[in-house]
Structures are given as C-alpha cells and as structure tokens.
Amino acid sequence: MKILFRRIAGAALIIYMLAGTAFAKELIPVGQIVGLELQDRQVVVVGFDEKQGGAAKAAGLLSGDVIKKIDDTAITCAEDVREALRSSSGTVAVEISREGKTKQFQIQPYITEDGPRLGVYLRQGITGIGTVTWYDPETHQFGTLGHGVNDSSGKLLPMAQGWVYRAKVMTVKKGKAGEPGQLYGSIVSPEPAGTLSANTQQGVFGTCRDGWEGQAIEVASMSEVKTGDAVIRSTVSGDAVREYSVKILKIYPKGKGNGRNMLIKVTDPVLLEATGGIVQGMSGSPIIQNGKLIGAVTHVLVNDPTTGYGIFIENMLDAAA
C-alpha cells in the first residue's frame, strides 16, 4: 500500500522451532497506526522554485533526478548540497543519475542572502503511515505494513536508517471502485518512538522500547490458516484500535513473496460505512483467526475496495528473523 504523508520535522525473538523456521511463540497483534520515515542516502529532485530554480531547470535538471555529486562533493543528504554550494565560486558541476544513466550539468546557482541555491526542492527517503502488525514485548521488536516500501523507480527502497512515530488518523477518504481510499494521519510527537532496522518485501521491521500494550496471542503456521471468518485490527479514527470482521476467500501458496498469500473480504458494516473497505494506510493491520495471529492486510483491489490481500504471518517473521 501507498505511503501517504510527507516528511515530518524518523529483532531478537522468543524462539521455538516450527517446520524448520524460527518463530515467536506469542506476539501482541497491535493494529495501531504509526508514522514511518525511511532514509536511503539518496537526494532526489522533486520540484523547482519558481524564482530561484530557473537556471537548474534550463540546464536540464528534471524531477526524479538523483543528485550524486556537486563539483567534487559526494551528495548523500540535503546538507551535503548546501555545503557544496557554500564552497563553490560560481558555476557548479551537478552530476545526477537518471534511469540508470549518469549525466552532468553546469548550473549557475541563484545567490540569496543565505548563500547560493540551486532552487530545487529535494526529498531524501520516504515518509508515510502504516499499521503495526505485531509487537514482541520481550524483545521490543515490531513488524508493520506486510510489504516493502519502494522508491520512485518502483524498486525496494535500500533503507540506510529509519524511525517510527506515534500517530493518529485525522480524516478518511472512503474507497470506491476504481479509486482506493486513504487514511490521512498526523504525527503525535516529533520525537521518534523507535527505530527501523529493515525494509523487506514482506514488511518493515524495527524496535520500539515502549512498544504497544495488549494481550499476546499464539502465532499460527501457514497450514493453520483456513478460508472462512476472521477479524482484522485497524485504526480508522484517531488512535482507537478496533476489531472488524472479514472473510478469507482464498489461500495462495507460501511461495508468493509479494504479500498476496490470502484473498480477504471486509464484511463488517461499521468498517464498510467508515472506509468502504480496505484503504491505503491500513497496510499491516493484523489478521486473527481462531484466536491466533495469522497475517496482515497488504493490498486492496482497485476495482473492489471491499476486497484485498493479506500476507501470512509466517512469511513476515521469516523476513524479520
């Protein structure tokens, strides 16, 4: 699912063996919305200042370009850009990466009272909201999303560092056929609640010392997941977590590494009224069946917001180990 809000001001387990894989025996199914910030040490052009960015735009710089070097300074963060410009004396050589190819442009910075500027808006990494799937109170490790976070090229973001923040839902855009809905969130505090350690195809993982309260329940193996009734835990208003009824329509082989291990349909009238079904931002909502944690919501069907996919918890924990 999609990451939704812009940048703010950012696994050891209790082990037993099951089918050759290491699992936590019990985990807390959370369902709480959080803010996520993933940084990748890449600085991307996302726009141009109308007044200051004329020279950069005329030189050939485009939105989506990754700035790799300015003169002899390697660029890994926005501060590197500012430092390189402060050290310049006139025109600068800006080296960028575009669709896998390296290009270089000669640009005359715009001079301001605060120093030279390229006049471009920059992005480093990705920020947004997601839902925490599980938390291990013994180790303080958690998992969220149930799928990876991709960069602008559609590839898995090579995260260098990241943070998780307490958040709440401000508004909901209700989903309808052909137009997925969205949760719009806000950070409760600018101070990170924890750190992120891995961005994988099966979820984003990290540690949070204070964590989330709740009753830990057993983790189910893939073989225990059945078609039929289940519930999900989600936050669709403020910071209140609620359980909603769903039905598992179909189960897919474990080998699917794309977060589509089961087809689920929302049947709860309260959730359908509030959101229209599964919406962007609900990624990671834990799925519980027969009192066990079986997986997490990952995707919504564009043409049917009441229906979407989930990942087996077994696959999430494999990636987190």
Least confident interval from 34-48, 163-177, 216-230, 278-292: 34-48
pLDDT band at 250 (very low <50, low <70, confident <90, very high): very high
User: What predicted TM-score, i.e. pTM, was given to this entire model?
Assistant: 0.81
Percent pLDDT > 70 in the chain is: 92
When pLDDT is averaged across residues 161-179 and rounded to a whole number, the result is 95
Q: Which residue has the higher pLDDT, 152 or 66?
A: 66
What is the pLDDT averaged over residues 271-290? 97
Instruction: Identify the band that residue 287 occupies on the pLDDT scale cut at 50, 70 and 90.
Output: very high
Strand partners, 110: 117
Instruction: Judge whether residue 12 has pLDDT over 60.
Output: no
The region of weakest confidence among 95-99, 133-137, 140-144, 246-250 is 95-99
Phi, psi (degrees; rounded to nearest 5) at 59? -70, -20
Rounded Cα distance between 75 and 83, Å, is 10
Averaged over 72-78, what is the pLDDT?
89
Active-site residue identified among 40, 147, 285, 299: 147
Predicted pLDDT at 255:
67
- Can you give the pLDDT at residue 89? 81
Is 50 exceeded by the pLDDT of residue 1?
no
Read off the pLDDT band of 24 (50, 70, 90): low
- Predicted local distance difference test score (pLDDT) of residue 132: 98
Farthest-apart Cα atoms in the chain, separation: 68
What average pLDDT does the segment 52-56 reach?
A: 94
So what's the pLDDT on residue 263? Answer: 97
Among 40, 88, 268, 299, the active-site one is 268
Distance, in Å, from the CA atom of 133 to the CA atom of 167, rounded to the nearest integer, reads 15
pLDDT band at residue 2 using 50, 70 and 90 as cut-offs: very low
Q: Is the predicted pLDDT of residue 17 greater than 70, yes or no?
A: no
Q: What is the pLDDT of residue 123?
A: 84
The answer to whether residue 95 scores a pLDDT higher than 90 is yes
Out of 137-141, 161-165, 210-214, 254-258, pick the least confident: 254-258
Active site residue 40: no
The pLDDT tens digits for 102-157 are 999 999 999 998 889 999 998 888 899 999 999 999 999 999 999 999 987 788 98
| 207 pLDDT above the threshold of 80 | yes
Confirm whether 140 is a catalytic residue: no
* Active-site residue (options: 88, 234, 283, 285): 283
Assess whether 88 carries a catalytic annotation.
no
